[in-house]
Amino acid sequence: MKRIPFTLLSLCLLGGVALAQSPRAERAQEREAEVLEWVAEQDATKHAKLMRLESADPERYRMALRRAGKMMHLMEVDPTAMDRRARMKEVRSELQDLSGDFDELSKRDQKERRADVEALVEEGYELRLESAEAQIALQEARLAKARERLEEARSERDERVEKHVQKVLSGELPERGERL
């Protein structure tokens, strides 16, 4: 029997019956589509791997999708993040190349090697500081968004309470996870 990937879409298509989705499930499906589109724009090869992973290993697919979503969001907050990460890999590689055989070098070569290593270590440190600043900016953006949602909920409090009360009184219990 062919294995069907466990996605919201496949749930909706089972038996040809369209299932009603909760708002949360709809947002998750929209976010998944957004992230997949972003990955396809960034790297068609990675997108193809991700699509194969969806049916081959759904758990790894979800983890990879989550990582891609975080990177997408980070790129929105800090467009230089990918360049910085690539440069950090280069710095590590260059440091790896310069490590070892230091004692076998002449004094003059040791002095040059030390200067090269020091410059790379300083660059790597600056890259890490820039990454930390970007992460702080990301957290600040999330906090601002959470504050906006809180203010929205406060402003809609009476409407939401009344709607919930009406649902309960009419015998229609709100779905689990549905916001008041």
Q: Is residue 153 situated within a structural domain?
A: no
Q: Is residue 145 situated within a structural domain?
A: no
Whether 72 and 83 map to the same domain: the answer is no
Whether 66 and 106 map to the same domain: the answer is no
User: Looking at the predicted structure, is the pLDDT value of residue 8 above 80?
Assistant: no
For the chain, how many structural domains are there in total? Answer: 2
Buried b (16+ CB within 10 A) or exposed e, 2-40: eeeeebeeeeeeeeeeeeeeeeeeeeeeeebeebbebbe
Whether 60 and 86 map to the same domain: the answer is no
Buried b (16+ CB within 10 A) or exposed e, 166-178: eeeeeeeeeeeee
Summarize pLDDT for 55-105 with one digit per residue, the tens: 999 999 999 999 999 888 878 878 888 899 889 999 999 999 998 888 899
Summarize pLDDT for 9-29 with one digit per residue, the tens: 444 444 444 445 678 888 889
Whether 66 and 83 map to the same domain: the answer is no
Confidence of residue 173 (pLDDT cuts 50, 70, 90): confident
Span between the terminal Cα atoms of the chain, in Å: 42
Residues 6+ apart with CB under 8 A from 28: 8
What does the H/E/C string look like for the chain?
CCCCCCCHHHHHHHHHCCCCCCHHHHHHHHHHHHHHHHHHHHCHHHHHHHHHHHHHCHHHHHHHHHHHHHHHHHHHHCCCHHHHHHHHHHHHHHHHHHCCCCCCCCHHHHHHHHHHHHHHHHHHHHHHHHHHHHHHHHHHHHHHHHHHHHHHHHHCHHHHHHHHHHHHHCCCCCCCCCCC
Which one-letter amino acid corresponds to residue 105? L
Are 21 and 29 spatial neighbours (Cβ–Cβ below 8 Å)?
yes
User: Where is average pLDDT lowest: 3-17, 26-40, 78-92, 132-146?
Assistant: 3-17
Domain that holds residue 86: 79-140
Q: Is residue 60 situated within a structural domain?
A: yes
